[in-house]
Amino acid sequence: MDVNKVTLIGNLVRDPEAKSLPSGQMISAFDLATNYAWKDQKTKAKREATEFHSLVAWGKLAEIVQQYVKKGSKVYIEGRLHRRSWKDRAGKPQSKTEIVADSLIMLGHRSLAKDPTELPKEEPSAEELPVAI
C-alpha cells in the first residue's frame, strides 16, 4: 500500500486566486507559510525557519476557500502531493510540486485591528444600555 498524504497548519501568504475552467469546475490556488523552530546544538540559540507551500483546491472546496479564507488566515489542511509538468512559451520544460487540498479547517485569522479596543464588544456595559423613560 502506498501513502501520499500531507498535513499542514499555517497562515495564508496572500489572498487565494480563483479560476473557473471551461468545464465549469472552479480551482483556487493559494500559498501557505509554515514555521519551524529548533535549538541549535552548538550555539544553544533558538533558530526559526519558514517554509512556503503552493496549494490548489478544486470544486466545492475551492469555492469555500475563495469565499472564507484570506491573507493571514490560519488553516489546517489535509491533502496530497502532486507534481505537474508543462512546456513554457519558449518550449522549455517546467515543473511544479504542489499540494492538492482534500480538506480544510479554518482555525482563525489575524486581526486587522491594531488596537484591541477597536474590536466589537460581545455585550454592552451597564453604561451603554439605554435608560427606560
pLDDT, mean over the chain: 84
pLDDT digits (tens, 9 = 90+) for 3-55: 999 999 999 999 999 999 898 899 999 999 999 999 988 898 999 999 999 99
CATH class of 6-38+49-111: mainly beta
Least confident range of 32-41, 111-120, 121-130: 111-120
Q: How confident is the model at residue 120 (pLDDT cuts 50, 70, 90)?
A: very low
Average pLDDT rounded to a whole number, residues 108-114: 52
Residues 21, 29 contacting (CB under 8 angstroms): no
Number of helices followed by number of strands (H, E) in the chain: 1, 6
For the chain, the domains span: 6-38+49-111
CA-to-CA separations, 14 to 7, 40, 55, 70, 73, in angstroms, rounded: 20, 31, 12, 7, 9
Distant-in-sequence contacts of 35-43, Cβ < 8 A, 24+ apart? 35/10
